[in-house]
Amino acid sequence: MSDNVFNKIAAMMTEIQSYTIDNAEQLEAFRIQYLGSKNAIKPIFGEIRNVPNEQKKDFGQKVNELKQAAEGRFNTIQTLLKKQSQSEAAADIDLSAPAYSGFGGARHPIATTMGKIIDIFERIGFVVAEEREIEDDWHNFTAMNTPEDHPARDMQDTFYLKDSVTRLLRTHTSSVQSRMMTANKPPIRIIAPGRVYRNETISARSHCQFHQVEGLYIDEKVSFADMKQTLLYFTREMYGADKEIRLRPSYFPFTEPSAEMDVYWGLESETDYKITKGTGYLEILGCGMVDPNVLSNCGIDPDKYSGFAFGMGIERQAMLLYNIGDIRLLFENDIRFLKQFQSVI
Ligand code: PHE
Q: Give 101-119 pLDDT, tens digit per residue.
A: 676 788 999 999 999 999 9
Per-residue pLDDT tens for 64-75? 999 999 999 999
Q: What's the angle, vertex CA 327, arms to CA 323 and CA 332, rounded to 5?
A: 110
By alpha-carbon position, which residue is closest to atom 10 of ligand 1? 287
**Residue 231 lies inside a defined structural domain of this protein:** yes
Which CATH number does the domain housing residue 313 bear? 3.30.930.10
56 in the same domain as 187: no
Atom index in ligand 1 nearest the CA of residue 212 equals 4
- What per-residue confidence (pLDDT) applies to 2? 64
> Any residues with CB less than 8 A from the CB of 206 and at least 6 apart, and which?
200, 327
Ligand 1 pocket mutation, candidates 131, 144, 158, 172, criterion most atoms within 8 A of CB? 172
**Residue 319 lies inside a defined structural domain of this protein:** yes
82 in the same domain as 34: yes
Q: How far is the CA of 316 from the centre of ligand 1 (A)?
A: 15
- What per-residue confidence (pLDDT) applies to 211? 97
The residue count of the chain comes to: 345
Out of 55, 87, 119, pick the residue that ends a domain: 87
**Residue 238 lies inside a defined structural domain of this protein:** yes
- What per-residue confidence (pLDDT) applies to 326? 87
Average pLDDT over residues 256-263: 96
d(CA 87, CA 107): 42
128 in the same domain as 81: no
Number of domains composing the chain? 2
More confident site: 156 or 23: 23
By alpha-carbon position, which residue is closest to atom 12 of ligand 1? 286
Q: Beta partners for 193?
A: 213
191 in the same domain as 144: yes
**Residue 38 lies inside a defined structural domain of this protein:** yes
Atom index in ligand 1 nearest the CA of residue 215 equals 9
By alpha-carbon position, which residue is closest to atom 5 of ligand 1? 311
Exposed / middle / buried, residue 8 (Cβ in 10 Å: 0-12, 13-18, 19+):
middle
Q: How far is the CA of 323 from the centre of ligand 1 (A)?
A: 25
Residue 87 has pLDDT above 90, yes or no: no
Q: Residue 179 belongs to what domain range? A: 109-333
Q: Beta partners for 247?
A: 261
**Residue 103 lies inside a defined structural domain of this protein:** no
**Residue 344 lies inside a defined structural domain of this protein:** no
Q: How far is CA 105 from the centre of its chain?
A: 4
114 in the same domain as 78: no
40 in the same domain as 8: yes
175 in the same domain as 55: no
Q: Name the pTM for this structure.
A: 0.71
Query: Residue 93: which pLDDT band, with cuts at 50, 70 and 90?
Result: confident
201 in the same domain as 64: no
Query: Is the distance from CB of 177 to CB of 294 less than 8 angstroms?
Result: yes
Q: How far is the CA of 287 from the centre of ligand 1 (A)?
A: 6
126 in the same domain as 83: no
**Residue 342 lies inside a defined structural domain of this protein:** no
304 in the same domain as 194: yes
Query: Residue 122: which pLDDT band, with cuts at 50, 70 and 90?
Result: very high
**Residue 236 lies inside a defined structural domain of this protein:** yes
Atom index in ligand 1 nearest the CA of residue 311 equals 7
76 in the same domain as 158: no
Q: Beta partners for 285?
A: 261, 312
Q: Beta partners for 282?
A: 263
Interhelix angle 109-122/314-322, nearest 10 degrees? 110
- What per-residue confidence (pLDDT) applies to 345? 64
Q: Residues near ligand 1 with C-beta < 6 Å?
A: 172, 174, 214, 252, 255, 286-288, 309-311
Ligand 1 pocket mutation, candidates 174, 256, 261, criterion most atoms within 8 A of CB? 174
Query: Residue 89: which pLDDT band, with cuts at 50, 70 and 90?
Result: confident
